[in-house]
Amino acid sequence: MRLSDLPQDDVVELFHVASMHFAALAYPDAWLLAVAGDAVGRQDWGLARACLELFERRRVFCALEASVLASLWGALPPLAEEPGGGDVSELIEGGVQ
């Protein structure tokens, strides 16, 4: 079963659980996954995609963490919109690079 097959509220909650998991592993920008979950709840696919891309930037994930992120990507529609320039620049200006 893919995340996209679950009710949307459950998918949003799973993004938040993933955020807590990565925060427990001391990823300082784990909050991006919670923002991505909120974006999924609003069907703002561009922002969700931008948050996942920012979180993964310049990192290599293995084992469980790679599976978690692959599942989160699976929650997005295959043809998700490209992130809007304003959303991404606001996240970067807020200290995430």
Torsion of CA 72, 31, 35, 63, to 10 degrees: 0
Kindly tell me if the per-residue pLDDT of 5 is higher than 80.
Answer: no
What does the pLDDT read at residue 81?
47
Kindly tell me if the per-residue pLDDT of 13 is higher than 60.
Answer: yes
Kindly tell me if the per-residue pLDDT of 2 is higher than 80.
Answer: no
pLDDT in tens, 44-95: 999 999 999 999 999 999 999 999 999 999 988 875 445 554 555 555 555 5
